[in-house]
Structure 1
Amino acid sequence: MIVVVGAGYAGVMAANSVARGVSEPVVLVNERDTFVERVRLHQLAAGQSLRVRPLAGLLRGPELAVGRVVRIDADERVVHLGDGRTIGYDTLVYALGSSGDLSVPGAAEFAFDVGAYSDAVRLRDRLAGGGSAVVVGGGLTGIEAAAELARPDLKVSLVTDRVGAGLSERGRSYVLKVLERRGVSVREGVRVESVHGDGVVLVGGESVAADAVVWTAGFRVPGVAREAGFAVDGSGRMVVDGTLRSVSHEEVYGVGDAAAVRVGGQELRMACATGLPAGQHVGKVIAALRSGRAVPGLRFRYVNQCVSLGRGDALVQFVLADDSARDRVLTGRVAAWYKEAIVRGTVFVQRHPRVPVSL
């Protein structure tokens, strides 16, 4: 039996892709029975309604097992769930994803991880009556959260070392102009030292008051792979070869944020833009092995980075194959339509794993 653990973008794609190419049972294990559109959670936090997507409606062949993965016994090839159940596997696809890195003092206790569904709901409720919020982190997630949360009854500030550090100067300039237009106060060149119930303290001692602290500064992966004895890198991501197979356990594959995937010597970033192609590819690899065909390596190149700036605005930053920014960008309402098409497309391609993925 083939078991896929984790039903994020990479996991659902992997489960459907694997099931399409093999005759044996495929089981997808996830802690909830609905699919979380993580790239839309800033919308949920801002009070917008998101469509509920039952995983049963996304799966094309795999069986769904609902439960939280707490441990993997690599020697016995058994997945242990939080309720005491166990699921044995012959082949395992590891796709447990990532969460916000809340290692800064006070962040785990007081900050809201906008990449987690439960935190997005709590943040929505906390800010329902207005007030103030400070967003920590100026990457794409932080930019989207700050722009989406900004509204007349909510004072939003963004604190970071640099807003949109990976964008072109043209793209970064546009983001800063939109944030200013939406009333977001931006502080660059600062780092957060600690988080408290009433705001954050910056390195140097300055306090920034807020009713809610929104954390988007970095990600971390679960410790399940390390604890199982799989080969992992310094951050705990499973180390895989060019076919996405674990370098320490030949019956195990890794996809998504929890795997350190390299193409042409470059480690791919954590994003659905990389998780979806990897999830699709692992199905081709397993099918090839089952039929005795040559096992293909992952071929991948980046195309763009899409950043929503509220519902009617966005930035599409076109990039080179290695994800470095080109000078070319798309902005405004057309970019917002483009971004929305990409987000809707992620759900479509998971249901139809034959469709080529290029995000």
Structure 2
Amino acid sequence: MTDRKTTTAGGSSGRLLVIGGGYAGVTAANRIRSSLTPTEAERFRVVLVCPRAELVDRLRLHQLAAGTRDEVRIALGEMLHPGVDRIVATVHRIDPGARTVELGDESGHGRSHLGYHSAVIAVGSDAVGASPDPDWHGVQTWAEAHRLRQVLASLRGDDGRGKPTHITVVGGGATGVELAAELAESGAAERVSLRGASTQLAGVPARGQRRIRELLEALGVRVQTGDRVEPGTLPTSEREVTVWAGSLRVSPLAKDSGIETDPSGRVRVDAFLRVPGRPRLYAAGDAATVEDPRGRHLRMSCASAIPLGGHAASVLLADLRGRRARPLSIGYITRCLSLGRRNGVVVPVFANDRPWGVTLTGRLARWYRAWICEAVLRWPVGEARHPGSSPRVPGPVLARWR
């Protein structure tokens, strides 16, 4: 279960726990550890608990599934500050009153308890169990994307001549759009279709919708939106493949632990990312929803996860030192996605995520998207050397800090 031996001065009273090894979790763990003074580092140990020994670069899962990229996992040992202890395990329950977590493997076996002084919930999200049809493939986790890749490879055969007659991607969000484009450009099937219940693709504003459709159709993707696909209504033959790229689900950890959540299971936090009524407990990334005007515009994305992870770390440190913390202020500058390996779309947005200006497409947009994909891996790692170095766009509500 343990990836690295965890020793803690003072036992649980000196353990600063980060639950989750995604963009938010790695950012938080690195900022906390690199910010500790030598005296604080003797008293406190930073511990990251994650079911895997690696971070999954979810921005490129569609490439793994389509067979255009071989690996999207990065060992946590390469990303974390050397002073961060790692435990490879699943957290099944948090007891905020006792300040303990219950650990075990994914099946729930080998359970044990771990105490903490302060903890950040950064478990992220995925689509496990979210598909409405068990015959549909997924693409929101490494296991799902890898399985889809294997299925497509087996249909293609050793000579590379065989391929599915038709791949239907269900879900018109960013994941669905990027996957459909990648599959079509790589020639993964004779036909590729994209089906979405919403008439708006990938959350892009109306002025960019026509251009996205034109680019997808140029790749051979048949786009059909405004039509909810019901389970059992699509062909299920051996060479007809359906992929679910619908909405994400948040881990049930917080809800199962009796921590207040919104209807989707995200932890309700204040403007400081503190869990109300739960001292020394914080939440960040996709696992959190900010119940304050400063954060109601935030969407589930790496563009939110990294600054949220950093802010949770900063507030934890301020509380640890008895100092006054600042409320969060996080905004956006763009929405972007790739359409194959030679094209992309970039939509400028205000800090509150509302679009403005002209939608950018073409190779420059594709380069920008590729740069973002590289940057979201550099920024959390940079926190291990220079705390607070990951960029943060100021939020739309610049209320005076009191």
Do they superpose with TM above 0.5? yes
Q: Which runs of 5+ in 2 are unaligned?
A: 1-14, 105-109, 157-162, 394-402
Per the alignment, in what secondary structure is the counterpart of residue 310 of structure 2? helix
- TM-score scaled to structure 2, two decimals? 0.82
- Output the CA distance in 2 between the equivalents of 1:265 and 1:253: 15
Per the alignment, in what secondary structure is the counterpart of residue 121 of structure 1? helix
- Output the CA distance in 2 between the equivalents of 1:59 and 1:21: 13
| 2:120 equivalent to 1:120 | no
- Output the CA distance in 1 between the equivalents of 2:297 and 2:350: 15
- Output the CA distance in 1 between the equivalents of 2:32 and 2:84: 9
Per the alignment, in what secondary structure is the counterpart of residue 212 of structure 1? strand
1:167-186 alignment, distance < 5 Å: 167-186=204-223
| 2:239 equivalent to 1:239 | no
- How far residue 214 of structure 1 moved from its aligned partner, in angstroms, is 1.5
Q: Deviations over 1:79-131 (max 9, x none)?
A: 2222323221111100111112744642xx22222111000000011112121
Report which of the two has the higher share of strand: 1
| Number of the residue aligned with 1:55 | 76
Given the superposition, is the C-alpha separation of residues 139 and 345 from structure 1 closer, same or farther in structure 2, using an over 3 Å criterion?
same
- How far residue 249 of structure 1 moved from its aligned partner, in angstroms, is 0.7
Given the superposition, is the C-alpha separation of residues 29 and 265 from structure 1 closer, same or farther in structure 2, using an over 3 Å criterion?
closer
Per the alignment, in what secondary structure is the counterpart of residue 327 of structure 1? coil
Per the alignment, in what secondary structure is the counterpart of residue 193 of structure 1? coil
Instruction: Kindly indicate whether the alpha-carbon contact (under 8 Å) linking 1:11 and 1:95 is maintained by their aligned counterparts in 2.
Output: yes
Given the superposition, is the C-alpha separation of residues 149 and 110 from structure 1 closer, same or farther in structure 2, using an over 3 Å criterion?
same
Provide the identity percentage: 38
C-alpha RMSD of matched pairs (Å): 2.0
- Output the CA distance in 2 between the equivalents of 1:121 and 1:211: 18
Q: Deviations over 1:42-99 (max 9, x none)?
A: 0000112125411011001311111122222233222222232322111110011111
Q: Select which of 241, 245, 253 maps to 1:212.
A: 241
Q: Which structure's CA Rg is the greater one?
A: 2
Q: Select which of 53, 58, 78 maps to 1:38.
A: 58
- How far residue 11 of structure 1 moved from its aligned partner, in angstroms, is 0.8
- Output the CA distance in 1 between the equivalents of 2:324 and 2:58: 35
Q: Select which of 27, 32, 35 maps to 1:21.
A: 35
Instruction: Kindly indicate whether the alpha-carbon contact (under 8 Å) linking 1:277 and 1:357 is maintained by their aligned counterparts in 2.
Output: yes
| Number of the residue aligned with 2:100 | 78
| Number of the residue aligned with 2:278 | 249
Equivalent AA in structure 1 for residue 365 of structure 2: A
Instruction: Kindly indicate whether the alpha-carbon contact (under 8 Å) linking 1:135 and 1:142 is maintained by their aligned counterparts in 2.
Output: yes
Per the alignment, in what secondary structure is the counterpart of residue 323 of structure 1? coil
The size of the alignment, in residue pairs, is 349
| 2:193 equivalent to 1:157 | yes
Q: Deviations over 1:183-204 (max 9, x none)?
A: 11111120022157944xxxxx
- TM-score scaled to structure 1, two decimals? 0.91
Equivalent AA in structure 2 for residue 94 of structure 1: I
| 2:113 equivalent to 1:93 | no
Instruction: Kindly indicate whether the alpha-carbon contact (under 8 Å) linking 2:332 and 2:349 is maintained by their aligned counterparts in 1.
Output: yes
Instruction: Kindly indicate whether the alpha-carbon contact (under 8 Å) linking 2:64 and 2:70 is maintained by their aligned counterparts in 1.
Output: yes
Moved more, 321-330 or 258-267: 258-267
- Output the CA distance in 1 between the equivalents of 2:64 and 2:121: 27
Equivalent AA in structure 1 for residue 364 of structure 2: V
Given the superposition, is the C-alpha separation of residues 250 and 141 from structure 1 closer, same or farther in structure 2, using an over 3 Å criterion?
same
Given the superposition, is the C-alpha separation of residues 26 and 342 from structure 1 closer, same or farther in structure 2, using an over 3 Å criterion?
same
